Amino acid sequence: MVRFPRLAAVVPVLTALVLVGCASEDGGVQSQKLATIKGRGTVVCGVDGKLTGFSFVAPDGSYSGLDVDVCKAVAAALFGDPAKVDYRDLNSSERFAALASGEVDLLSRNTTLTLSRDASGGNGLSFAPTTFYDGQGVMVPAASGIKGLKDLAGKPICVESGTTTELNLADRMREINAAYTPLKFQTADQTYSAYLQGRCVAVTSDRSQLAAKRTGFPTPAAHTLLPEVLSKEPLTPATVNADPGWADAVRWTIYALMQAEELGITQANVAAKVVEAKANPNLADLRRFLGVEGDFGNQLGLPPDFVVKAITAVGNYGEVFERNVGNGSKLKLERGLNRQWKEGGLIYSPPFR
């Protein structure tokens, strides 16, 4: 790197100062990103912004949704305040560039975990635990008489460009040997407008997204989802590969929400649980989890009680799910694969130990 001489002298000193600062605060976690975020005082979170249930902007400018709650939980874990988040609306084509360039710290935008997105030779992302196990679906007008993928042969299908959806559609249609016309649009708005205007006989995306978008249609009941599930779509928050310290902090904040549900800790009773843990030295597991004893927070570069702060802010995973996409929402999605592992689902937190 070519630098001006004076700058060259200053940079190592500054770097040393930043690193020293980190080391004294965080007990040895050397994460440039964590230091930057703490210095800035907010987490910059990349979200969709237009997807009911996952990330949606209310008329007053406030964000809500499952993806948004992940951002809030991380901000709460870091700063004790779920409002310390700057949201950036990203479309599916922009999202990886925004993350790679450091414009956003955390991408929580219904993004499917795949090999090529994870690999250093591909997009080079570092994925957190999956927050929503989804599958790709196809929506058609109820009156169209289309019952399955085979009926779509030779027909135009609307799809958002730059998504895994686009590839899965190509693969499935090739398997059943059906030609079709993929009409690609850059944004979800354009995709669904073209579908609603009747340019395509079907629109394909994650089943949760289709259900979410349908709630905004003029007559939601006039559209049905085909029974076929075209793919596995584990929707997962992501950070950049280059900063494992920051990735760990995000990963374990999300695990904390899942573990809390398993332990029966909710937004309502978390304060009482802390009191209980402090009073009873025999509850070692609970004491460690809530940061009453041990140094889990310190190991991650987070405050000792980051778990308590995250749960106080958004509740446990089950509460986040029900409030945003489950029975407490317009979407009314089943828990399905997103149940706790003890109930036959895939939500499973490794031990806090």
Partner 1 sequence: MGPSLRPAATTPWWRNRRVVPFAVQAAAGLVVLVVVAFLLGNLVRNLTAAGLLLSWSWLDNPAGFDLAESSIPFSASQPYWLALLAGLVNTLKVVVVGLVGATLLGTAVGSAAFSSNGLLKRLARSYVELVRNIPLLLQLVFWYFVVFLALPNGVNAIQLPGLVLAKSGLYLGWFGEGWQWQLPQLTDGVWQAPLRLSVEFGALLTGLVVYTAAFIAEVVRGGIAAVPQGQWEAARSLGFSPLVTLRRIVMPQALRVIVPGLNSQYISLAKNSSLAVACGYTDLYSVAETTLNQTGRAVEVVVLLLGSYLVIDLLISALMNGLNAAVQLKER
Distance CA 311, CA 18 (A): 30
Question: Applying CB under 8 A, which of residues 81, 86, 166, 293 lies at the interface with partner 1?
Answer: 166
When asked if residue 199 is in the footprint of partner 1 (CB under 8 A), the reply is yes
- Asked if 238 and 99 count as a contact pair (C-beta separation under 8 A), the reply is yes
Residue 49's Cα: distance from chain center in Å?
12
Selected from 15, 116, 215, 280, the binder of partner 1 by CB under 8 A is 116
Quick one: 72 or 172, whose CB is closer to partner 1? Answer: 172
Q: Is 141 in the site for partner 1 (CB under 8 A)?
A: no
62 binds partner 1 (CB under 8 A): no
Contact status: 123 vs partner 1 (CB under 8 A): yes
DSSP per-residue codes, 255-321: HHHHHHHHHT--TTTHHHHHHHHHH-TT-HHHHHHTTSSS-HHHHHTS-TTHHHHHHHHH--HHHHH
Tell me the window of 7-15, 53-61, 193-201, 287-295 that interacts with partner 1 (CB under 8 A).
193-201
- Dihedral sign, Cα of residue 274, residue 277, residue 280, residue 281: negative
Q: Is 97 an interacting residue with respect to partner 1 (CB under 8 A)?
A: yes
Binder among 32, 144, 184, 228 for partner 1 (CB under 8 A) = 184
6-14, 55-63, 92-100, 259-267 -> range binding partner 1 (CB under 8 A): 92-100
**CA geometry: angle at 25 spanning 20 and 27, to 5°?**
90
Nearer residue to partner 1 within complex by CB, 194 or 263: 194
Rounded to whole angstroms, the Cα distance separating 127 from 241 reads: 8
Would you count residue 92 as binding partner 1 (CB under 8 A)? Answer: yes
Q: In whole angstroms, how close is the CB of 348 to partner 1 at the nearest point?
A: 29
Interface pick for partner 1 out of 80, 102, 135, 162 (rule CB under 8 A): 162
Residue whose tokens read 């085979």: 150
Per CB under 8 A, the list member of 15, 62, 120, 327 interacting with partner 1 is 120
Handedness of CA 185, 188, 189, 195 (dihedral sign): positive
Applying CB under 8 A, which of residues 25, 171, 295, 334 lies at the interface with partner 1? 171
Decide: residue 42, CB within 10 A, 0-12 exposed, 13-18 middle, 19+ buried: middle
170 contacts partner 1 (rule: CB under 8 A): yes
For residues 157-190, one letter each, b for 16 or more C-beta atoms within 10 angstroms of the residue's C-beta and e for the rest, the string is bbbbbebbbbebbeebbeeeeeebebbebeebee
Query: Segment near partner 1 (CB under 8 A), from 53-61, 163-171, 266-274, 339-347?
Result: 163-171
228-247 residues in contact with partner 1 (CB under 8 A) are 242
Note the residues at the interface with partner 1 (CB under 8 A): 1-2, 92-93, 96-97, 116-117, 120-124, 156, 161-163, 166-167, 170-171, 173-174, 180-186, 190, 193-194, 197-199, 242
